[in-house]
Amino acid sequence: MAINNQSPPAVNKWLVTIAVMAGTFMEIVDTTVVNVALPHMSGALSAGVDEATWVLTSYLVSNAIVLPITGWLAALFGRKRFLMICLALFTGTSMLCGSAPNLGSLIVFRIFQGLGGGALQPISQAILLETFPVQERGMAMAIWGIGVVIAPIVGPVLGGWITDNLTWRWVFYINLPVGLLSLVMTWFFIFDPEYVRKQRAGSIDYIGLGLLCVGLGALQIVLDKGEREDWFSSAFIVRLAIVSAVCLVLLIYWELKHRHPVVDLRLFKERNYAAGVTIMFFFGFVLYGSIVLLPLFLQTLMGYDATLAGWALAYGGIGSLMIMPIVGRLTGVIDSRWLIGAGLLINALAVYLMSQYNTQINFFWAYFPRFVQGFGLGTTFVSLTTLTMSRISQEKMGNATGIFNLMRNLGGSFGIATAATLLSRRAQFHQSHLVENLTPLSLPFQEWQHRMSNIFPQLGPHWSWWESREAMAALYGEVQRQAQMLAFCDDYWFFTLMFFFLLPLVLLMRRLPRAE
């Protein structure tokens, strides 16, 4: 299908926004929907839970590989053509995933779905940054950010409803109407500007492409499987970590020397971009790590069902929705560095409030820190994206947004892996510490004995610990519960400190260039 090479007509920027956001929203929703439907898939396809998780891992690996080479692929095919290829590939493989007869074919289709979906976010971001003038990019990123924030909230709710009322296959089939709508709107309303039509990708950097695929693929598997395999106690994880490290180091060396690199690392010479990407990596680290803990805490320790835990998480999206349009307008008035700093401090406050959780909190205190975090997320995301990309030329915007989104996703993967590992290790530490201080002569133990006497009257007022297995089992369960609670608090304390460590990086950035 040929793409019109005439001068691009003037198209309403809001129609362009809807066209690119439809595909991005679909891709993010699909990722979170599949998480909810995974147990249903494993049952229907007669696969174990560990086997079924490759449905997620295969997608994440292919997604990570295509993100940094988005700019190069857009130059190779033409940006509009490449966007339409990605939309068609994602939509078509979604239908194949829904009709997959077994786990093996589903994983293969998910790999191709990840290749199509990975480029949708950076391309849509690049098109929006180009469509809006520099002084209006804050509003453009606010709109883009709203879609990115709302999609993960809609996904779990939609996924739960679909799997409960239809079948897991419909979590893939629902992509068809959205994908077709985005394809049609892209065809009619998005056009490549002159510099894109003249852009050439150069010779294919086979070595760089190979190093990138192997290095990022191995890294993503290490992060996804590390905690289950007990990290470097597993020979499998050790081998993959070595392969990943060697390939990524060689990739950096090769790409800096190559005339036509598949990933343009020279972008990091721009101070705003280098500092912004670094902040985004650690921001994704803390954000995703802290978010994954909340539903786990509410469901395992507080007894919430999945729906109520989802609602507590959703309040973060409400906070972001409220603040993002305001921040989008403020970026043209207030120095973006102040907005980034304020956003990081708000996030630090929110995570600190989470570190004060206990097993007696009510629903308000379960969702309120997430609501506050939503304000911090919206403030940081909009202003940071705008300032990071402010001094990148249009010709390099596709490559820049690809790396930017990759670092956010990688930061999230590192954050989730770190949160899970810290939770496990700190729970063991606290359990050992609590048991050391829980003896038949200690006051907490004696209070527990008295409480058990009320629950089990047959024990009498002065029973000994060896007389009732039920009472001691209940005590051990409570020790585990409190140790887990303290471990959650430790995780949130760690993430609070990380937000403060990001503040000095903001000082390295220059303010937005003035409008000419």
pLDDT band at 439 (very low <50, low <70, confident <90, very high): low
Q: For residue range 347-381, what is the model confidence (pLDDT) as tens digits?
A: 999 999 999 988 888 888 888 998 898 888 888 88
Whole-model pTM?
A: 0.76
Average pLDDT over every residue of 235-263? 86
- Higher per-residue pLDDT: 344 or 45: 344
Residue 246 has pLDDT above 90, yes or no: yes
8 A C-beta contact, residue 191 and residue 9: yes
What pLDDT score was predicted for residue 294?
81
For residue 9, give the DSSP letter: P
Average pLDDT over every residue of 5-23? 68
The region, left, alpha or beta by phi > 0 then psi within -120 to 50, assigned to residue 293 is: alpha
pLDDT band at 452 (very low <50, low <70, confident <90, very high): low
pLDDT band at 35 (very low <50, low <70, confident <90, very high): low
- Higher per-residue pLDDT: 106 or 292: 106
Average pLDDT over every residue of 69-85? 81
Instruction: Compute the distance between CA of residue 264 and CA of residue 397 in angstroms, rounded to an integer.
Output: 11
Q: Average pLDDT over the chain, rounded to whole? A: 79
Distances (CA, A) of 465 to 433, 469, 474, 478, 490: 20, 8, 12, 15, 31
What pLDDT score was predicted for residue 349?
93
What pLDDT score was predicted for residue 352?
93
- Higher per-residue pLDDT: 304 or 425: 425
C-alpha closest to that of 82 among 410, 402, 388: 402
- Residue 85: burial class (beta carbons within 10 Å; 0-12, 13-18, 19+): middle
